[in-house]
Amino acid sequence: MPSREEIFKHEQEQHINGRNSSMKTDKPIIYIDLDGVCADYNSYFADQYLEHGREMEDIFLDKEVFNRLSKIDGCVKAVRILNNDYDLYFLSTPIWQAPDSYTDKRLWISKVFGNIATNKLILSHNKGLLKGDYLIDDTKSNGVGDFEGEHLWFGQDYKNWDEVLLFFDKISK
């Protein structure tokens, strides 16, 4: 078994020599938003605000919010199916006033999606900066309107994950 020093030296050499210097893929790229697309933030928010009388800011700043979010129906199945033919990334806007949300989003996707999510989380307040083919998002904010690929407006134009899968099934034929 290699020592810690040997492992560190190996990692350093890999970094210097450009391990993964090119990560281009031939697969089309899909970015998937988390809140409201995979994580049922809207139901949790409504329950806490309407049923329990919590203030909006209190809910946003809750350090445990992501541990309490359930999955949107069909998201895990859809992600597994799409992962076969597309290069998937999770693209989410963290809550600036809640720095824990950065880590919490990472932990949530690992818990829900396992290995599919490894090294696949991108956090940005401007989604229009990314290059890709498709963006599945439930809003048009945070630069979504500037995204150069096709925006699949989840919950509006595509009501659920079955409709999203139907879209991708149609374009693959």
Q: How many domains does the chain have?
A: 1
CATH classification of the domain holding 157? 3.40.50.1000
Q: List, in sequence order, the alpha helices (H) in the chain.
A: 4-16, 41-46, 56-60, 75-82, 100-113, 161-171
Using CA atoms, how far residue 115 sits from 89, 93, 148, in Å, is: 12, 22, 28
As a whole number of Å, the end-to-end CA separation of the chain is 50
Q: Per the domain annotation, does 54 fall within a domain?
A: no
Q: Could you identify the residue written with the tokens 């401007």?
A: 126
The reply to whether 33 belongs to the active site is yes
Question: Which of the 8 DSSP states describes residue 71?
Answer: B
| Model pLDDT, residue 7 | 64
List the chain pLDDT tens, one digit each, 173 residues. 666 776 667 666 666 666 555 567 789 999 999 999 999 988 877 777 677 777 777 766 777 778 888 999 999 999 999 999 999 999 999 878 778 888 888 999 999 999 999 899 999 999 999 999 999 999 999 999 999 999 999 999 999 999 999 999 999 87
Q: Per the domain annotation, does 114 fall within a domain?
A: yes
Check if the beta carbon of residue 138 is closer than 8 Å to that of residue 38: no
Q: Per the domain annotation, does 163 fall within a domain?
A: yes
Domain that holds residue 96: 27-40+71-171
* Selected catalytic residue, list 26, 33, 58, 62: 33
Q: Per the domain annotation, does 84 fall within a domain?
A: yes
Q: Per the domain annotation, does 7 fall within a domain?
A: no
* Selected catalytic residue, list 35, 40, 87, 104: 35
Angle at 118 between CA 75 and CA 77, to 5 degrees: 20
User: What is d(CA 66, CA 108) in angstroms, rounded to the nearest whole number?
Assistant: 7
| Model pLDDT, residue 100 | 82
The reply to whether 35 belongs to the active site is yes
| Model pLDDT, residue 60 | 65
Question: Residue 78's Cα: distance from chain center in Å?
Answer: 13
